[in-house]
Amino acid sequence: MVDLPRKPNMTVNEMVDYLKKDLKKSVENDVSPCLQTEKREGGYFVIPRLVLSYVDYLGALHHGYSGSHKPKGRRIFADHTYAKSFIRDFFGPLFANYRTFGDLLWEIYRNGTIHLYEPLTLENSDVIISWQIFKGRSGERTILGDPTQSGRLIPLTHVLPWPIVSPTKGESHPNEWILPISTTCLHDDLLSAIDGFADFIQADSDAQRRFASTMEALVIPEKTCLKWW
pLDDT digits (tens, 9 = 90+) for 34-82: 988 777 788 899 999 999 999 999 999 999 998 777 777 788 888 999 9
Ranges of each domain in the chain: 12-218
| 132 three-state secondary structure | strand
Q: Is the peptide bond before 48 cis (omega within 30 degrees of 0)?
A: no
Question: In angstroms, how far is the first alpha carbon of the chain from the final one?
Answer: 25
Are the C-beta atoms of residues 105 and 98 closer than 8 Å to each other?
yes
For the chain, what is the mean pLDDT? 82
Between 186 and 168, the more confident residue is 186
> How large is the average pLDDT for residues 92-101?
87
Asked whether residue 170 carries a pLDDT value surpassing 60, the answer given is no
Taking the model in full, what pTM does it have?
A: 0.85
205/186 Cα distance (integer angstroms): 29
30/202 Cα distance (integer angstroms): 26
